[in-house]
Amino acid sequence: MSEKTPKEILSLMEKEKVQVVDLRFMDFPGIWQHFSIPAHELDEDTFREGMGFDGSSIRGWQAINESDMIVKPVPDSAFIDPYMTARTLVMTCDICDPVTGEDYTRDPRSVARKAENYLKSTGIGDTAFFGPEAEFFVFDDIRYDQNEHCGYYFVDSVEGRWNSGRMEEPNLGNKLRYKEGYFPCPPADSLQNLRSEMMLTLESLGVAVEAQHHEVATGGQCEIDMRFAPLVQMADNLLKYKYVIKNTARAHNKVVTFMPKPLWNDNGSGMHIHMSFWKDGKNQFYGDGYAGLSQTALYAIGGLLKHAPSVLAFSNPTTNSYKRLVPGFEAPVNLAYSSRNRSAAVRIPMYSQSEKAKRFEFRCPDPSGNAYLTFSAMLMAAVDGIQNKIDPGEPLDKNIYDLPPAEAAKVPKTPGSLREALEHLAVDHEFLLKGDVFTKDVVETWIEYKHDNEVMEVDTRPHPYEFALYQDI
C-alpha cells in the first residue's frame, strides 16, 4: 500500500470536491465509531495535532474525569464513501492522549500497531500476513426484545427453508434446504447480485477480493473472501468489509448480521483466519516439515494451540460465539492441527505447495469481535510458541468426530462459554504483555467489560426454551 501524505489528501479532496470529512475509529469491543467535520476544517495541522473528542462516552474507554482524547487521521486509510449523499472522505484515525501525546493503550488499532512492531523486534519476521474468511447472514427481517416479563427474537429470509409453505403471492419455491446452501446456482441462491455488488464496491475502495459465494446455512448465509494483507491493514480492511456489506444490504432493504449463531440447528458464521510470518521477502512458515511447514511454523502452531483458550476471549468474544463452538457440530472445537482435517482447530491448506501460499488457518474464530485485538492475540501466541519452541505434538489426520471416546477425550477442547474463555485469559496472558503490546490494563478492562456487560447480562435473564423445559415443574 503506497503511503499518502497529508498534502496529497488535501489535493484529493479538492479534486473530488469533498464536502465532508468523516473521522472513524474502533471502540474497545469492536464497533466502528465516527464523527464528521466540514471539509474546510481539515488542514495539514490536523494530521499532526489531531482533533479532540469525548472519550468517556466510548465503551470501555476513559473515565468521565479524564475524558478528553485526540483523534489523528491516517492518510493511507482515506477513501470516498460510496453511500453518503454529500461527497464524503473517510479516514481511519489513531487515538492519542492529549496530555502526553502518546498512543492511547486501549485504542485497538494501537495494540495492532504495537504487535506488528513487536514481531519485527524479535527478528522472527518483519511482516505478519492475515487472511480472514468472514461469514455473515443476510436477512429480510430481524426483530427482538427483552424486558422483565418477556423476551423473543425473530429472523426471516425469503430463501429460508422455513418459508417453503408461506403465502407469498406467489411463493416461487427455491428455498434452500438446511445445511445445503454451499453452493447451488440461482434461483436457489437469491443473493448472487447483492454479493457481486458488495464485492465490486469493496474492490472500488481498494480492498482486494478473491471470491464470493453462498455459505452452507439456509436463509441467507454468505461469504466474501478478501486477499491477505499485513495485520493492521487487514484489520482496517475488515472494518471496510463490514461497513460495505451492511450498507449495501440496507440499500436493498435487507439487513446483515455477523452474529455467529442467529439460527438454531443450522451452520453458524465463522471467520477462519489464515496467518503467515515473512522476513526479507521470505515466507518463514515454508519448509520441508509436516505439510510443507517449517519448524518455525510448527512452533507457532504449538503456541497458538497452547494459548487458544485465552485467545478465544478475543477471537470469539460474545456469549453467542459459544452457541457455534459446540462439540459434535460443524465448528472446530478440538485443539489439534492437521493438513486437511477441518474438524481440527488449526488446518494447513493443501491447495498449493508454493512458498508464497504456505500458511496455516485458525478455524475457531468468528466475525463478531475486534479484528485488531484478535489478530494481535494470534500473533503474540504464535511468537510465544516460536520463542519457547512449543511442540504442537503429532498432527491429528483423522476424523476427530469418529474417534473412540477414550481417544477423543485426550484431545483438548475449546472453552465452552465466554465466561470460561475469560477465566482462561485471566490466568494466561503473560504472552500478550511482551513488548507492551497488550497492557495489563487492556486485559483487565476487557475481562471486566465482557463479564459485566455481556456474560452477566445474559446469564441473569430467563431463556425462552427454559419455559419449554421447566414451566410445569
Catalytic: 106? Answer: no
Catalytic: 59? Answer: no
Out of 43, 54, 407, 448, pick the active-site residue. 54
Catalytic: 214? Answer: no
Grid cell of 222 as nine digits: 454468505
Catalytic: 363? Answer: yes
Strand-pairing partners, residue 73, are 93
Helix orientation angle between 371-387 and 295-315, rounded to the nearest 10 degrees: 140
Out of 361, 366, 384, 454, pick the active-site residue. 361
Catalytic: 54? Answer: yes
CA distance 236 to 138: 22
Catalytic: 215? Answer: yes
Catalytic: 342? Answer: yes
Out of 133, 159, 366, 384, pick the active-site residue. 133
Out of 27, 107, 116, 135, pick the active-site residue. 135
Out of 342, 397, 420, 423, pick the active-site residue. 342
Specify burial of residue 197 (Cβ count, 10 A radius: 0-12, 13-18, 19+): middle
Out of 363, 419, 424, 429, pick the active-site residue. 363
Out of 223, 225, 236, 266, pick the active-site residue. 223
- Is the sign of the CA dihedral 48, 51, 56, 60 positive or negative? negative
Omega prior to 170 cis, within 30 of 0: yes
Catalytic residues: 54, 133, 135, 215, 223, 272, 342, 361, 363
